[in-house]
Amino acid sequence: MRSDGERERQDPRLAAYRVLSDVDRGEFADRAAGRRLRGLPAADRALALELAYGSIRLRGRLDAELSRLLDQPLERLDPRVLGWLRLGLYQLRETRVPDHAAVDQTISGIRTTVGAGLTGLANAVLRRAAREGRRQDAYPDADHDPEGYLVSWGSHPAWLVRRWLARWPLASVRRLVENDNKPPPVTLRVLDASLDHEADLVPEDGVRLAAESDWKGMFRLAEGTPEQALRSLPCVVQDPAAAAVVDYVGDEVAGPAVDACAAPGGKTIGLAWRHREARPFVAADVSGARLKLLRESLDRLRLDVGLVRMDSRVPAIRRARTVLLDAPCTGSGVLRRRPDARWRIDQGRLHSLVGLQEELLEASATVLESGGLLVYATCSLEPEENEEQVESFLARHPEFRREPPDPGWVAEGTTDENGDLRVWPWVWDTDGAFASRLRRL
């Protein structure tokens, strides 16, 4: 008899199912996947990851169709069977797995993990789904019921969709939602500014990089693994939107410089590489485990940055000329990177993060010397975390003012009328980012 562990090491669908169950119990998808998929061979791991992440991302879409097929509320179903049904339907609708394999293997998964007694219903539902094919009438029409469409076909929570529709045209929200539903490409920031063209780069065999035409120094990993690329070039894995925050900080970064929420450290590395004169450079974070990742990157690139584990609301640093505060946020601009994040955030979480950001901003302001620069950044699209946070900070602090960046530091069209950085995912096909430069007078 094979043990559960052994079976998981060999069966990508079972491993994907375990990831789904872990996420239902509150674990982060990346952590669950790291643990559950560890023993699988590379091709099976890729399949398991696609099935798990895809079923989590598209849970809203899958559930809308399952509700129609089942003709009963999904809450009445055994959650284990529901997990398997999501995986089975995902394979039928979103992958090239042959229908019979998707159905048979799902049923066999239910038999081994739940019991033979519960296979009948699932069998009937999946066979019907396979027979009927996708029926677009399972989803509301985008023009007649935009919210219903974006919640079900778009697979986003209703509260978020409502907020977005109140702010932006339907076409933009549609593109945003579609962008979130696709696994993102791997992009790299090449740190050495002289290596600006593909022809200048000589990565190791098996690695091919394609320049991102809109973004200076950014390359898409067209072939090879991130590890290979990191081994052969001075670079970091980073989305163009995150790299834009580094550019937006500007040319004059003076020490002492503090990155107050630094880990895992893509922005620290970009800044520390470019501004070697800005020392001391301190990277702080409350998470020791995340700082460890930053330590590894700094060592790889031989960068002189001091690491401090601290709660930046009560900084252990007395004074700074430059502070980057890349604050913890809902991450509503990076939902494509974290398949489970959209189901995790809610209005309550948004509200408590706004409070935390405000405390971090206040503490950053107290360490900044006169004439110093504070850059506040998030990867959120929500006004409470972005421009409203900055406006209320400026109202409390007349000794600060916004200082727009020089033209040319960031790509044209990425700053707004206040000089804040705004990278909209639906415009650029990237993550989202916000940043504001605040000068202490």
Ligand X SMILES: C[S@@+](CC[C@H](N)C(=O)[O-])C[C@H]1O[C@@H](n2cnc3c(N)ncnc32)[C@H](O)[C@@H]1O
Give catalytic residues, as residue numbers.
Answer: 379
Return the number of the residue (249 or 261) whose C-beta is nearest ligand X. Answer: 261
Instruction: Report in angstroms how near the CB of residue 44 gets to ligand X at its nearest.
Output: 30
Tell me how far, at minimum, the Cβ of 362 lies from ligand X, in Å: 12
For residue 70, the minimal CB distance to ligand X (Å) is 39
**Binding-residue total with ligand X (CB under 6 A):** 18
Q: Which residue is nearest to ligand X (CB)?
A: 261
Distance of alpha carbon 81 from alpha carbon 85, whole angstroms: 6
Burial of 39 (0-12, 13-18, 19+ CB in 10 A): middle
Q: What is the DSSP letter of 2?
A: -
DSSP state, residue 206: T
- Minimum CB separation from ligand X for residue 336, in Å? 16
**Rounded distance, CA 302 to CA 81, Å?**
51
Residues 266-295 that bind ligand X (CB under 6 A): 266-267, 284-287, 290
The single-letter code of the amino acid at 354 is: V
Taking the complex as a whole, the smallest distance from the CB of residue 226 to ligand X amounts, in Å, to: 15
- Asked if 326 is part of the footprint of ligand X (rule: CB under 6 A), the reply reads yes
Q: Is 147 or 385 the residue whose CB approaches ligand X more closely?
A: 385
From candidates 37, 58, 261, 272, binder to ligand X by CB under 6 A: 261
Is 262 among the residues that bind ligand X (CB under 6 A)? yes
Kindly give the residue spans of alpha helices, DSSP state H, lying in 250-334.
Answer: 266-274, 288-301
The tokens of 382 are what?
């929500």
Check if the beta carbon of residue 215 is closer than 8 Å to that of residue 413: no
Residue closer to ligand X, measured from CB, 121 or 310 = 310
Whichever of 74 and 310 has its CB closer to ligand X, that residue is 310
263 binds ligand X (CB under 6 A): yes
**Is 239 a binder of ligand X (CB under 6 A)?**
no
Say how many C-beta atoms besides its own lie within 10 A of residue 207's C-beta.
22
For residue 13, the SS3 value is helix
Q: Binding to ligand X by residue 83, rule CB under 6 A?
A: no
The 299-318 site mask, x for binding ligand X (CB under 6 A), equals: ------------xxx-----
Question: Does 154 engage in binding with ligand X (CB under 6 A)?
Answer: no
The burial class, CB within 10 Å (0-12 / 13-18 / 19+), for 432 is buried
Residue 99, judged by CB atoms within 10 A of its CB (0-12, 13-18, 19+), counts as middle
User: Structure tokens of 199?
Assistant: 């022809």
Token couple for 278: 């800005």
DSSP state of 301: H
Q: Which is nearer to ligand X, 219 or 434 (CB)?
A: 434
Residue 220 or 313 having the CB closest to ligand X: 313
Which phi and psi (to 5°) does residue 114 adopt? -115, -45
Residue 96 CB, shortest distance to ligand X, in Å, is: 35
Residues that bind ligand X (CB under 6 A): 242, 261-267, 284-287, 290, 311-313, 326, 328
